[in-house]
Amino acid sequence: MSEKRLVVIGSGGQAFREYALEAMAGEADLVLLENREPTWQKPHITDFRVVDPADVPALVEAVREVAPDGLLTYDESLVGTVARVAAEVGIAHTSPEAIRLCKDKSALRGHLAEAGLSPVRFAVAHTEQEAVDAAGRVGFPLVCKPLALGGSIGVVRADDEAGLREAFAIAATAKAGDGTASKLAGVLLEEYLEGPEFSVDCVVWDGVAHPLVVAEKVLGFPPYFEELGHVVPAEPSPAIDEAVRLVREAHRAVGLDRLVTHTEFRLTPDGPRIIEINVRLGGDLIPLLGKLASGVDLAASAARVAVGLAPETEPLRSEVAAIVMVYPDRAYRVDGVRLRRDEAEYPGLERLTTFLPPGTEVRLPPEGFLSRLGFAIVTGADRRECLERRDAVAADLVVDGTPL
């Protein structure tokens, strides 16, 4: 039993989030609040309550009953709710106002611009004609995206007016895999930021952001922005250092504290530009990649700062880790995913995970987003070895099934 008790609201899917729950359980006794009884979560929690995450008064009552030392979520849809509950109960946490600022992509753009950070031309449109009019101010190429969704769902590049009309329709109607639409009406139009894309996961303690995991992002299926993989750490450079400094300044400007964040940015010809700040653990197992590469456990740090303990930020080793998302090359009725050889024959292969039942139909953007069949994680002593191992695994991944 730990001396600290931590309430976790929402646990996410096992394939992508069990590692986080397991790491947090090493730092505090976990009490899970979820809308159903736990299954795979049970080995990692000491107690649970079945509560509707949409029912804030019920959450407040449950948290008061548990009387925890801290409160957190890594579910994108619940970060605002958790901030409200923490404020109501009196648990130290980033303010609901700061969380709302990060959740509203247009509000964050405006706030950073006022602070003189990461200038990006943008506009918000509620109709197709408003989008066409705004494009004259933003300029082509531009990107359309929902105001409050994650995972690059509904994010589309448009190079001209015809493409804009199509992109607006996709962004305006986009929904997450569980059918959840953006909680904020309207579509954000931003200037397209030319350059490679990265992310940095920080733990924020006493108002100071400590960057722990910098990841290089692999994107695909243009004009969409599906995330096909990540490499940790990104190759060091002065431009990366400048971007990390910008991210830390942005955290101070927003007023974040006692949580972990996942910030996406691009290195443009005009300098680094922030794409968005997510007030939660990074997805796609990026924190796990960080642990494999450096020994620094971001998920454990999330639990520590939530219950009032200083995070552990010093790296223990210097290796490289990468993740490859398994996608079909077209719409498919999927029977399974396999490697051409036995898993033991692939050096550095940490895990191969598949999670769709046989017969599942998957479609690529714009008919379907995040159409992943599984993932593979590989490690290496250095960047070259890791990427060679990653590419060998990716080349041997086979999707069995029937094209639709």
CA dist., res. 324 & res. 337, Å (int): 13
Instruction: Tell me if 303 sits within 8 A of 22, measured CB to CB.
Output: no
pLDDT single digits (tens) 332-354: 999 999 999 999 999 999 999 99
Q: In the beta sheet, which residues pair with residue 224?
A: 156
Residue 64 region by backbone torsions, left for phi larger than 0, else alpha for psi between -120 and 50, else beta: alpha
Looking at residue 51, its amino acid is V
* Whether 66 and 133 share a structural domain: no
pLDDT at 150: 74
- End residue of a domain, out of 191, 220, 249: 191
pLDDT at 175: 80
* Whether 126 and 86 share a structural domain: no
Instruction: Tell me if 354 sits within 8 A of 337, measured CB to CB.
Output: yes
Q: Which of 73, 64, 76, 67 is nearest to 93 (CA)?
A: 73
CA dist., res. 349 & res. 351, Å (int): 6
Helices and strands per DSSP (H, E), number in the chain: 11, 19
Instruction: Fill in the DSSP letter of residue 181.
Output: B
Residue 27 lies in a domain: yes
Instruction: Tell me if 52 sits within 8 A of 61, measured CB to CB.
Output: no
Residue 152 lies in a domain: yes
pLDDT single digits (tens) 26-84: 999 999 999 999 999 999 999 999 999 999 999 999 999 999 999 999 999 999 999 99
CATH code: domain of residue 394: 3.30.470.20
pLDDT at 149 over 90: no
- End residue of a domain, out of 98, 132, 152: 98
Place of tokens 């910008």: 246
- End residue of a domain, out of 133, 161, 191: 191
pLDDT single digits (tens) 237-294: 999 999 999 999 999 999 999 999 999 999 999 999 999 999 999 999 999 999 999 9
CA dist., res. 396 & res. 27, Å (int): 38
Residue 168 lies in a domain: yes
* Packing angle, helices 96-103 and 238-254, rounded to 10: 130
CA dist., res. 86 & res. 92, Å (int): 7
CA dist., res. 5 & res. 29, Å (int): 5
Helices (H), 126-184: 128-138, 161-173
CA dist., res. 188 & res. 172, Å (int): 9
* Whether 351 and 387 share a structural domain: yes
Residue 311 lies in a domain: no
Q: With bands split at pLDDT 50, 70 and 90, how would you rate the model's confidence at 2?
A: confident
pLDDT at 184: 76
Residue 161 lies in a domain: yes
CA dist., res. 291 & res. 295, Å (int): 4
What's this model's pTM, rounded to 2 decimal places? 0.95
pLDDT at 211 over 80: yes
Q: In the beta sheet, which residues pair with residue 362?
A: 332
Number of domains in the chain: 3
Q: In the beta sheet, which residues pair with residue 337?
A: 399
Residue 224 lies in a domain: no
CA dist., res. 250 & res. 298, Å (int): 20
CATH code: domain of residue 162: 3.30.1490.20
pLDDT at 177: 62
- Where in the sequence is the domain holding 136, given as residue range(s)? 121-191
The number of angstroms, rounded, from the C-alpha of 400 to the middle of its chain's C-alpha atoms is: 28
**What DSSP string runs through 333-395?**
EEEEEEESS-GGGSTTEEEEEE---TTEEE--TTT-SS---EEEEEEESSHHHHHHHHHHHHH
Q: With bands split at pLDDT 50, 70 and 90, how would you rate the model's confidence at 181?
A: low
